[in-house]
Structure 1
Amino acid sequence: MKRKLLFAERVIYGEGNKAFNAVVPVKICGSFSAEDLHYALRKIQEKHPLLNSFIEVDEKNMPWFVVNEEVSNDIPVRIVARLTDNDWETEVVKEWATLFDTNKGPLMRVVWIKSENMSDLILVMHHCLCDGRTAMSILADLLKIIDNKKVNIGKQPPILSMYDIVPVEILKNKRRIFKAKFKGLLNFILLWLIPVSKKLPERKQDYMINWKLDKELGDQLVSISKSSGVTINTLLCVIILNVFKEIRKEKFFNKIACPVDIRKYMPKINDDSIFAFVSMVALSFDNKLDFISNAKKMQEIINGKVSKLDPHQMIMMFEQSHSSFSYLVDFLKYSKPSNDFLFSNLGRINIAHEYNSFELATIYSPSAVGPFGNTTGFVASTFRGLMDFTFIGNELFIPYDEAVAIKNRIITIIKEQVGHESAIAV
């Protein structure tokens, strides 16, 4: 099997010489064997052929996913002794920076931080292969098979071409083809014209800060979002932007980037599909408005932008932009930061936590660090009723001590907002 990387996948892959890894850590109480884990990983590869792949670059410098069906390409497992509850954080930061050998593959590996009755499993996948939604699907299947070898997880046909994700009537529509080519050419011209100083600032130490809200506080925050007519995602955006304004001061851009999961707008792609394409929405808040009014205005902006989203046309346009690849990579790599952070919320993760021989104690919010520009990001998720946050940073952009202050202030503002709404309700 051989499939050319889509443009978005190609941008994430780059030249293959920089790490861009999606990392999913979980904590497990109980025991399972190495044999069970390796068996489960082989079954996952049987379901998803692309998890057996390596990347081959042709004479035109175009990368391709390649699967040699006659040779096994087992997902490797690195075992680490579990000494403390925080060992997983050290390993996550290490895995952000550890390159895959893309010439050999596979593009997934596992770290097993192991003690007698407690484990942390860290799934690591090249981000060009999958997004957070795919990673959750893989995790769910993996746990099912570790628990029961007889469970049937089925097989997921891989995406082999544009026809597998975009309806044929759209792909062959002359107006859409012209529009995609025109925008692709326009992107090329704009990127070619933008002057970029090819001088990279020296990246410093990456770090992560992870925390959870207690259940009562998280539930009250969700209640505020519902009563205000905004999503919890929007409410969190406003909270974090306020904190950045307060703490970052003159370094505050008032701009947040939020990925939009486009699967629900593309019926041919399901939650099990290996897929790594998202759209982005940029948001800011209005300094003249109060907290809730800002959230409502921001929600209107999000709804307006999402309603105009045409992911099929977007993908067609990107596929007409391969000639812009090197210019776009340079722009992403060398341009000065223009936003404060990226915020992604996976929402409620519907994965079982009770199994025959173990319990899934928690899922820590996934993370990824790429080689492009400002690496600051927040990922939120909710599992077993607890809202979890991962704050991703680098000392070059935000010193660690300042990041701790941001985290503490976020929690304080959440408590203040919950208390404020409770007072109003009384």
Structure 2
Amino acid sequence: MKRKLLFGERMLLGDETEPFNTVIPFRLRGSFQEENILKVLYELQEKHPWLKAVIKYDENKAPWFEVSKEKLIIPIRIVSREGEEDWQEESKKEWHTLFNPQKQPLMRLVWIKGELVSDILFVFHHCLCDGGSAMTLLHEFLQLLDNLSAKISLENPILGIQDVIPNEILTSRKQQFKAKVIGQFAKTVVQCIPIKTKTINRQKDYLIHWKLDKETTSELIFYCKEHKITVNTFLCATLLKAFEKVRKEKAFNKVSCPVDIRRFAPQIKDNHIFAFGLMIVVSLNKKIGFEENLKLMQKAVEKKTSKLNPYITMMVMESAHGVITKFTNLLKYGKSSNDCMFSNLGRIQIPYQYQNFSLENIFSPSVIGPLGNTTTMVTSTFRGEMDFSFMGSEGYLAHSDALAIREELIKMVKQQIESLAVL
């Protein structure tokens, strides 16, 4: 079984010389054996063929996912658990550890082993799967860890663009012409843009983690409902204000937000291992107040989201494989034009109590890669608590500024909640 990597996946894969890894940390209370964890990982591979895939190149040097004929074991690295924050140091270590995609699976596991409590990291090459796929794999891993006989549905893997785009669109001459025209224009623009030969010195990468307690999380959600906005919009607005307060004239007033393609392409199921994403950019209107901005931003988000067309976007991108290197270099060497990427996984609906152990925590994923500005914030909500991972690099955003942005964001959240209580 094999399939050619899509344009976006090729972009994330790169040339295999620089890591682009996603880390999903979670905390378990219970006792485990390495042999059992290996069995669980093997079962996951049996249910999801791409977990047994390596990267192969054809005669045109195009990469393919190809299920290996040899038995490939997902590697486990075990370290002793010394403290509550070991997972953060191990996460940063995993950011910088290359996969060997032509010989090994694009997933590995780190077990930070304690007597009663263990922290486990799922590590994926970002070209393999997105956050939604990772959460499905985590849920299945926990079910199998509790009961190896648990029934996990067999993935019917995506084998190409034809499995995502409806045939009536993919074969439509009108849509093909539209994609060709847009794609040709995009390729021409990419070819004409001059590229620097030197990247910005990223310097030291960092990870900042914090949580909002259950009460604050609940009040934040209530605030958003009262103002008829999404939590995502509220957090984007507070993040932009925090950047403005800390960075002043250096702030770009732009946050890019991934949008789950599954909302628009029902062919992509929850258990599909897939890494293609859509994106919108949001900004504040500096001439109006915060609450007015929330309403305006919500309308802007809804308008931009409604215009997203995953099918034509994919068709355009698939016509642009000839400029993949140039496009990747533009991202890598180009000047940053946004403050941050912000991703909200929302409420994680994975049970926390099992027969043989309990899932104490799921920490928000972290990701860092070589394609330009690394500043990223990811949030998720598990067991009623909103969790934040804020990652970046000194060369793009000083660690001291990132800490100040965190404090400003927390302060603004509390101020807005309190303002609602006064009314």
Which AA in structure 1 matches 2:199?
L
Contact kept, 8 Å, 1:348 with 1:381, in 2: the verdict is yes
Give the match for residue 29 of structure 2.
29
Give the match for residue 240 of structure 1.
239
Give the match for residue 414 of structure 2.
415
Which AA in structure 1 matches 2:102?
N
Give the match for residue 79 of structure 2.
80
Q: Secondary structure at the match of 1:296?
A: helix
Which AA in structure 1 matches 2:416?
Q
Which AA in structure 2 matches 1:51?
L
Cα distance between partner residues in 2 of 1:379 and 1:46? 30
Give the match for residue 15 of structure 1.
15
Give the match for residue 99 of structure 2.
100
State the shift of 1:57 in Å: 1.7
Residue correspondences, number: 423
State the shift of 1:72 in Å: 0.7
Give the match for residue 281 of structure 2.
282
Q: After superposition, what is the alpha-carbon deviation per residue over 1:52-82, rounded to whole angstroms, capped at 9, x for unaligned?
A: 11101222121111112x3110101000000
State the shift of 1:33 in Å: 1.4
Contact kept, 8 Å, 1:25 with 1:122, in 2: the verdict is yes
Give the match for residue 161 of structure 2.
162
Which AA in structure 1 matches 2:357?
F
Q: After superposition, what is the alpha-carbon deviation per residue over 1:86-109, rounded to whole angstroms, capped at 9, x for unaligned?
A: 100000011111110011020000
Q: After superposition, what is the alpha-carbon deviation per residue over 1:326-345, rounded to whole angstroms, capped at 9, x for unaligned?
A: 11011000100000000000
Cα distance between partner residues in 1 of 2:408 and 2:263? 34
Cα distance between partner residues in 2 of 1:287 and 1:335? 26
Q: List alignment gaps of at least 5 residues for structure 2.
A: none
Q: After superposition, what is the alpha-carbon deviation per residue over 1:206-246, rounded to whole angstroms, capped at 9, x for unaligned?
A: 11011100111111111111111110000000001101000
Q: Secondary structure at the match of 1:292?
A: helix
Cα distance between partner residues in 1 of 2:286 and 2:113? 49
TM-score, length-normalised on structure 2? 0.99
Give the match for residue 347 of structure 2.
348
Measured on the aligned residues, the alpha-carbon RMSD in Å equals 0.9
Which AA in structure 1 matches 2:207?
M
Cα distance between partner residues in 2 of 1:180 and 1:324? 15
Matches within 5 A, 1:246-257: 246-257=245-256
Give the match for residue 297 of structure 1.
296
Which AA in structure 2 matches 1:409?
E
Cα distance between partner residues in 2 of 1:224 and 1:388? 18
Identity %: 45
State the shift of 1:201 in Å: 2.1
Give the match for residue 211 of structure 2.
212
Give the match for residue 60 of structure 2.
60
Q: Secondary structure at the match of 2:140?
A: helix
Matches within 5 A, 1:123-134: 123-134=122-133
Q: After superposition, what is the alpha-carbon deviation per residue over 1:156-200, rounded to whole angstroms, capped at 9, x for unaligned?
A: 011111111111111110000111111111111000111121111
After the TM superposition, list the runs of 4 or more consecutive aligned residues in structure 1 that deviate by more than 4 angstroms: none
Q: After superposition, what is the alpha-carbon deviation per residue over 1:268-306, rounded to whole angstroms, capped at 9, x for unaligned?
A: 111110110111101110011111110110110110011
Cα distance between partner residues in 2 of 1:413 and 1:154? 43
Cα distance between partner residues in 1 of 2:207 and 2:94? 12
Cα distance between partner residues in 1 of 2:153 and 2:233? 36
State the shift of 1:14 in Å: 1.0
Matches within 5 A, 1:110-259: 110-259=109-258
Contact kept, 8 Å, 1:32 with 1:357, in 2: the verdict is no
Contact kept, 8 Å, 1:28 with 1:120, in 2: the verdict is yes
Q: List alignment gaps of at least 5 residues for structure 1.
A: none
Cα distance between partner residues in 1 of 2:10 and 2:182? 18
Give the match for residue 51 of structure 2.
51
Contact kept, 8 Å, 1:187 with 1:324, in 2: the verdict is no
Give the match for residue 367 of structure 2.
368
Matches within 5 A, 1:315-330: 315-330=314-329
Q: Secondary structure at the match of 1:294?
A: helix
State the shift of 1:397 in Å: 1.3
Q: Secondary structure at the match of 1:336?
A: coil
Q: Secondary structure at the match of 2:379?
A: strand
Q: After superposition, what is the alpha-carbon deviation per residue over 1:384-425, rounded to whole angstroms, capped at 9, x for unaligned?
A: 00000000111111121221111111111111111111111x
Cα distance between partner residues in 2 of 1:36 and 1:59? 41
Q: Secondary structure at the match of 1:23?
A: strand
Q: After superposition, what is the alpha-carbon deviation per residue over 1:314-362, rounded to whole angstroms, capped at 9, x for unaligned?
A: 1111111101211101100010000000000000000010011211000
Which AA in structure 1 matches 2:134?
A
Q: Secondary structure at the match of 2:132?
A: helix
Contact kept, 8 Å, 1:32 with 1:358, in 2: the verdict is no
Cα distance between partner residues in 2 of 1:284 and 1:335? 21
Cα distance between partner residues in 2 of 1:67 and 1:271? 21
